[in-house]
Amino acid sequence: GCGETPYIKLITQLYGDRMMVANATGCSSIYGGSAPSTPYCTNKDNQGPAWANSLFEDNAEYGLGMVTASKKLRERLARQMTEAMDEVAPATKEAFEAWLEAKEDGEKSRAASTAVLKALESENHAVAGEILKLKDHLVKKSVWVFGGDGWAYDIG
């Protein structure tokens, strides 16, 4: 049987609402991505793991792409906030500063992201719309690459 399930259960309990999974094809894709059910669930805010599977044994690279994309989008958010800092309302500036301070901490970035979104509700600066386009990337993601035995090169 698959020994991965207890580990995946634990990881999702720790990071699930901000988790991204690059899955290898194998038993984890059977229990992880079979319709009509999934072992991954959402919290009260409808947040849960984002799960994707590559048919090929390239999910290490696939996961690297997820990390790289997330990093670049968050760098864009940081740049937009920094550049607009002196042009936004004081409450928005305070929220931006808090987010920039907390952005690399998964849990702290969640609270800071909530404050940014609240501040942007009453912000008239054009940066508000740009940041809202990327709002799903405000909270720091926890990216996991689930590999299989073929991926690990431990078969014959």
- The residues spanned by each domain of the chain are 5-65+140-146, 72-137
Torsion 63-64-65-67 (CA) sign: positive
- For residue 43, the model assigns a pLDDT of 86
In this prediction, what percent of the chain has a pLDDT beyond 90?
Answer: 55
Q: Taking residues 132-156, report their average pLDDT.
A: 83
How does the average pLDDT of the chain come out, rounded? Answer: 89
Checking if the pLDDT of 27 tops 70, the result is yes
Q: Work out the pLDDT band at 54, boundaries 50, 70, 90.
A: confident
Give residue-wise pLDDT tens across range 111-138: 999 999 999 999 999 999 999 999 999 9
| Cβ atoms 17, 45 nearer than 8 A | yes
20 beta partners:
50, 143
Do 40 and 32 meet the contact criterion of CB atoms below 8 Å apart?
yes
Other C-beta atoms lying within 10 Å of the C-beta of residue 37: 7
Helix (H, G, I), strand (E, B) or coil at 28: helix
